[in-house]
Structure 1
């Protein structure tokens, strides 16, 4: 039985890795073409390549469920095409055991993807965004279509780029009163974190009143705030690439500021439930192989896997905003597609017995 486990498991595992490499490669090529529109003297071909390279861990993590679904279909489909599954069933191997054998390599990939998403992707994503922002705006304090927005009370802030050592570039600060009337606008070339405060450099402040605007400049200026480099690092990275502890802490911070935290809570629950999502998708893939796709061609299996993956991803993308509109918990939005896939897989397997 151990040889059987290794044979089936290795076939499914290699198929998942192959599909993952193809999907991520195509996505990276598409991203490179999109970034190529911004190539300039400072944001060179090599810089674009470095940006794509640094975002690869995040892309790998993002496509693990999709690859597990299609890879499992291809791996088991290959065994079905060569009649090896028929021989295994004739030898007395139950469908439940085959399900568990195929599930193990998928869960291994899920664990590896989870570790990648927790430990590697947040750092490389933040470094990629910083390098791109600084390359696209060399020597400029403001501008650019990328950057970090944050709010602290009635103060709205934008930072062009964040370095790992606690230095931010291109600060824009808009201060409003209780009636949301702008009091002043501040711009600074850069700011350095000094432990419990920031030191701004090359500061320009425009103070507004009902009848005039006064402009003042400062070479350096102290900025006392509760914003830290760790907090900005969280803001600089898309929620789906943040580690679970940071998602939890930042969602609590947003709640303390009276701001909406549903996006971060949704990303938190999706990350926690990703192994379950992969398990549910693999269950659907296995049920297809033992059910309606038992005699199907390889191309049709790939097509079916892509359709199921798109439906699953679309349902997740629709239920996320729906939770904001209709007011139900983000946990339910993350859990509903998983339960639907799991129930569908169990029902299809029950019919295949």
Structure 2
């Protein structure tokens, strides 16, 4: 039995890895072509390639559930085409055992993906966004295509890039009063964090009043705020690529500032439930192989897997905004498609017995 376990596990594992490599490779090529449109004297093809390379760990994490679905279909489909599954069933191996043997390598991939998404993808994504922003906005440029807006109290701020050493480039601060009227605007080339405050350099400040405006220039200016480099580094990365601890911490920070935090709560629950999502999609794949796709061709199995994966991802993408519009907790939006897939997979497997 151990030899059978290793054989099925190896077949499914290699199929999942092959599909993951193909999907991530295609996504990387598409990203390189898209970024190549912004090539300039400072943002060269080499820096474009570096940007795409740094985003690959995040792409791997994102596509693991999709790869597990199609890879499991391909691996088990190969065994079904060669009648090996029929021989295993005739030898007394139950569908439940075959299901568990196919689930184990998928769960290993999900565990590796979880570690990748927690410890590697957030750092590489931040490095990618920072080096792209600095390459596209060199010198004293204040505005950037990929900059980020945020808010603290009545202060709205924008920045182009954040370096890990606590250096922020291209800062714009807009100070509003309680009636949301603009009181002052400030622009700085960069700011350096000094442990308890920021020191901005090459500052241009404009003050507004009901009858006139005044302009001030400073070589350096102190900025006292509760915003730290760690908080700023979270903003430039997509919520789905952040570690669980940072997602929880930043969602709490947004709630304290009276801002919407549903995006980060939704990403938190999706990250927690990704192993369940992989299990649910693998159950669907196994139920298809033992059910309606038992005699199907390899091409049709791939097509069916792509359709199921698209429907699953689309339902997640639709339920996320729906939770904000209709006010139900984000955990339901993250868990709903997973439960439906698990129920569908279990029902199809029960019919295949």
| 1:11 aligned onto 2:11 | yes
Query: Cα deviations across residues 193-225 of structure 1 (Å, max 9, x unaligned)?
Result: 000000000000011112211110000111100
Mapping 1:325-344, distance limit 5 Å = 325-344=325-344
| Aligned partners of 1:107 and 1:278 also within 8 Å | yes
Match of 2:265 in 1: 265
Name the count of aligned residue pairs: 353
Match of 1:277 in 2: 277
Aligned equivalents of 1:317 and 1:135: distance in 2?
A: 32
Greater displacement, 151-160 / 136-145: 136-145
Aligned equivalents of 2:83 and 2:242: distance in 1?
A: 44
Match of 2:94 in 1: 94
Mapping 1:208-219, distance limit 5 Å = 208-219=208-219
Aligned equivalents of 1:151 and 1:291: distance in 2?
A: 53
Match of 1:62 in 2: 62
TM-score, length-normalised on structure 2? 0.99
| 1:300 aligned onto 2:300 | yes
Aligned equivalents of 2:36 and 2:273: distance in 1?
A: 35
Aligned equivalents of 2:213 and 2:36: distance in 1?
A: 41
| Aligned partners of 1:141 and 1:190 also within 8 Å | no
Match of 1:291 in 2: 291
| Aligned partners of 1:141 and 1:188 also within 8 Å | no
| Aligned partners of 1:141 and 1:171 also within 8 Å | no
Query: Cα deviations across residues 271-318 of structure 1 (Å, max 9, x unaligned)?
Result: 000000000000000000000000000000000000000000000000
Aligned equivalents of 1:232 and 1:330: distance in 2?
A: 24
Partner-residue secondary structure (3-state), 1:55: helix
Match of 2:309 in 1: 309
> Cα RMSD between the aligned structures?
0.5
Match of 1:319 in 2: 319
Match of 1:180 in 2: 180
Aligned equivalents of 2:162 and 2:336: distance in 1?
A: 37
TM-score, length-normalised on structure 1? 0.99
| Aligned partners of 1:167 and 1:191 also within 8 Å | yes
Partner-residue secondary structure (3-state), 1:47: helix
- After the TM superposition, list the runs of 4 or more consecutive aligned residues in structure 1 that deviate by more than 2 angstroms: none
| 1:155 aligned onto 2:158 | no
Match of 1:110 in 2: 110
Aligned equivalents of 2:318 and 2:246: distance in 1?
A: 24
Give the unaligned 5+ runs of structure 2.
Answer: none
Query: Cα deviations across residues 233-284 of structure 1 (Å, max 9, x unaligned)?
Result: 1111110000000000000111111111100000000000000000000000
Partner-residue secondary structure (3-state), 2:258: coil
